[in-house]
Chains A and B, each alone.
Chain A
Amino acid sequence: MEKYYRSRPRDAAAEQIECYLCENGLKAGDRLPSERDMCGRWGFNRTTLRSAIHRLIVEGVLINRVGSGTFVAPKKLVCNLQDLRAFSVVVAESGRSLENRLVTAQMIECSKPLAQKLKQPLGHRIFEMMRVRVVDSVPVLLETSYVDAERCRGIEQYDFEAGSLYATLERDYGIALKNGIEKLGVTYAGTDEAQLLEVPEGSPLIHRVGIAEDFDGVPVEYFKSVARSEYLRFASVLTR
């Protein structure tokens, strides 16, 4: 065992900045000292400091505003993956504003891949809806939902820019979601995704695909989404 660990300069610089934030109680929107100032104070060279700042920007700790400096980033919105709460509820509880931009809402015929997910025959009527979720004026999540339209007749009449899908299913169709399973991974923004989420093409995004079932084990919703990780953080609790 090595006696004592000395971190690499870049790691040390990133940690030093985080310590500075926590010791001085800096909050979202507060400005960091200038690079020159930080280098002088902690004895790092410019390159080291810059790459540390770059890393903290990628991790969503800091944010860079061109021309005016580096700031403490707003806290990420934490979405617990295990509790099946509507996104609108999560946003409301964090005290932020939510705007839904409807991209598509249409009836489609069930395709083979969808047929397997939703356990419906080919050609069955499916309601497809794609929405961009905009939190505090930043588009953070692009979500596509597929719901059995025969079971939810008239669902295309609802205004899902204003209302929640889960709340509508529960209130007007008596469908309560019980559980489900989803997969997560990394993906890179394609042309459409980049445009809708206002990020450069090829930016890394968190990709989720899943199925939610009702209390009888019937699949209710198949969903796909891509999220901007600088703004959203997914979380789960492990218990014994």
Chain B
Amino acid sequence: MANERVVDFHSPIYLQLREVVRGKIEDGEYPPGTAIPSENELAETYGINRLTVRSAIDALVSEGLLRRVQGKGVYVLGSKMERDLETLGGFTQTMLNKHAKPSTKILVKARRRAGSKYACIFSVPPDSELYYIKRLCYADGEPMSLEEILIPCDVVPKLEGIDLSVFSLYEVYDFYGVRLSRAWQTLDLAELEPNDARMLNVDRGRAVLLFSCTSYDEQGRVIEFSRSYTRGDKCNFTVHFQSNNNPDAGK
């Protein structure tokens, strides 16, 4: 990026504010995934007009540093990378309606003690802390799956301030330099607790598909364990398979 932005006190106010916000993003005062102060707050802090604030922010939005979310605020984006684990295999969820609009609702987002079960899964001491996230995923407003996600707190220390209805966890990992390298997925059948069944609109006693997924980073450390209880009547899953045997290794 060629630097034509030598901004001093002669520069237009919106340019000065743009550089202030950029500086705070670069210094980490506004960490990726969190919202920056509202336009009103910024206007008040710096004693400037709201319209001026808006044009400063617009500039950063078009640069791809910020994202405006209708009705919520303006969020800091981190650096993005190429990915999608799912394109490289594994269960691909296909909705009955391909154009269904996805959305999620966070039910729980809290810290918890790992305990011996998760201490085993994450190879951490039982007394260490995990984030526990429970959310409902919808397609076109209809509940499709109930997800429970566990992440060791030191993987994404700022998760408290991040709005997970705006950013996917994968985006958050990218922001914080966590590189998922592989994941192990399993499929079982399960039964939901009555409360959860009601939330998912599943009749009691009906089975749901349970996908468990353990994700590893490049060092082989477990960074996420998730369980997704998915309605079998609404979703199909497809798997591509490939033989890795060479024709002369006949068994």
Contact = CB atoms under 8 A, between A and B. Distances in A.
Contact of A178 (B110, B115, B243): B243
Interface string A189-208: 00000000000000011100
A173 interface: no
Interface string A209-239: 0101000000000000000010001111111
Given A58-B191, A170-B247, A177-B243, A238 B117 contact: no
A197 B190 CA distance: 19
Contacts of B247: 170, 176
Nearest to A182: B239
A contacts with B: majority SS: mixed
B250 A58 contact: no
Given A19-B117, A83-B244, A184 B111 contact: no
A22 interface: yes
Contacts of A66: none
Contacts of A206: 187, 189, 209
B241 A185 contact: no
Contact of B180 (A3, A233, A240): A240
Interface stretch (A4-12, A29-37, A121-129, A144-152): A4-12
Nearest to A202: B205
B116 A22 contact: yes
B186 interface: yes
B115 A180 contact: no
Contacts of A51: 193
Which of the listed residues B117, B189, B235, B251 has the most CB atoms from chain A within 10 Å of its own CB? B189
Contacts of B115: 15, 19
A11 B185 CA distance: 22
Contacts of A86: 251
B241 A5 contact: no
Given A239-B88, A239-B182, A183 B236 contact: yes
A210 B242 CA distance: 13
B91 interface: yes
Contacts of A15: 115, 117
Interface in B210-251: 210, 213, 232-233, 235-245, 247, 250-251
Nearest to A82: B241
A55 B116 CA distance: 19
B239 A82 contact: yes
A186 to B, nearest CB: 3
B108 A2 contact: yes
Contact of A240 (B88, B232, B238, B250): B88
B63 interface: no
A207 B203 CA distance: 20
Interface string B168-183: 0000000000011111
A8 B193 contact: yes
B50 interface: no
A233 B242 contact: no
Given A182-B238, A240-B181, A59 B190 contact: yes
Contact of A19 (B116, B179, B182): B116
A240 B182 contact: yes
A228 B63 CA distance: 53
A213 B193 CA distance: 41
B182 A1 contact: no
A236 B89 contact: yes
B204 interface: no
Given A1-B160, A206-B187, A236-B91, A185 B109 contact: no
Interface of B: 83, 85-86, 88-91, 108-112, 115-117, 120, 132, 160, 179-191, 193, 206-210, 213, 232-233, 235-245, 247, 250-251
9 contacts: A4-B111, A5-B110, A15-B115, A19-B115, A83-B244, A84-B244, A167-B250, A170-B250, A178-B242
